Every structure is written in C-alpha cells, then in structure tokens.
Amino acid sequence: MEDRLKKLKKSQQQETFHGLKFTDELRQSIFQAIKEETDEDILLAILQLLTRQKTGFELLTHLRGRGIKRFDQNEGFLYTFLHSLEQKEYILSQWDDEKNKQYSLNSKGRKLLKKAETKSKQEVSKGVILYE
C-alpha cells in the first residue's frame, strides 16, 4: 500500500510541476517579496507587542522572533521609531527601578492597534480571494 502511495505522489508531482522552472532570479524575487516587511507591518507588530510593557531590547528581540530584520543593522532606528510613536501619543514610556526605559500602549495606541489589525485582516482576506 505504501509503495502505491509513493508512486502516486511521485506521478502527481511530475504532472503538477511539469515544465515549471525556477531560475535563481525568480527565486530571489520570491524570497524578497516574502522577506520585505512594510512600515505598516512593523507598526502593527510593535503595537501588538506593546500591549504588555517592554524595554526596547525586549521589543527588538520579539521583532526578530517575528522575522522583522529592519532594525538588525542599526538598533537606534527602533528607538527613533519608538520616540516618534511617543511624540504622537500612541505609546507611553517610563523608567523602571533598574533604569531601563519601559514602553507600553496607551488608549490612543490601542485604538490605532485595533484599526491596524482590522486593516491587516481585510488585506489578508483580499489576498486570499485574489489567489483562489
């Protein structure tokens, strides 16, 4: 039985991918399309992560865990981004007893998060419809 399944699987793969060739250029373009994160993706990730208080270092670690690598070469960009969110009054910051700056969402930031999540869900559902 297992041999028949293996043969069936091989024959389906040959028919499904017959004539399909992935050049290195095509592979790179697909990889780049998957890899690149937009400003909206980064904002959404930061807002989601800041629903609980975090330091900049913790935030950076979690962003890397989500595959966001924009801040890898220059962590200072993250702090600049956080400062701009703080100036726009989306997040709060405070110093803890160990002299670490902690960041968290305020009510305006939570509203922005809900709006960004709704927009993201709509874009995902549009993408699913386009590729059906």
Chain centroid to Cα 49, Å, comes to 11
Asked if residues 86 and 93 have their Cβ atoms less than 8 Å apart, the reply is: yes
Residue 105: name the closest of 39, 38, 57, 59 by CA: 59
Q: Which residues contact 78 (CB under 8 A, 6 or more apart)?
A: 56, 59, 60, 63, 71
Q: How far apart are CA 48 and CA 15, in angstroms?
A: 43
Read off the pTM: 0.67
Q: How confident is the prediction for the chain on average, in pLDDT? A: 82
CA dihedral 57, 63, 68, 72 (to 10 degrees): 10
Mean pLDDT of 13-29: 67
Q: Is the pLDDT of residue 52 over 80?
A: yes
pLDDT of the residue at 37: 75
Q: Which CATH architecture has domain 38-130?
A: Orthogonal Bundle (1.10)
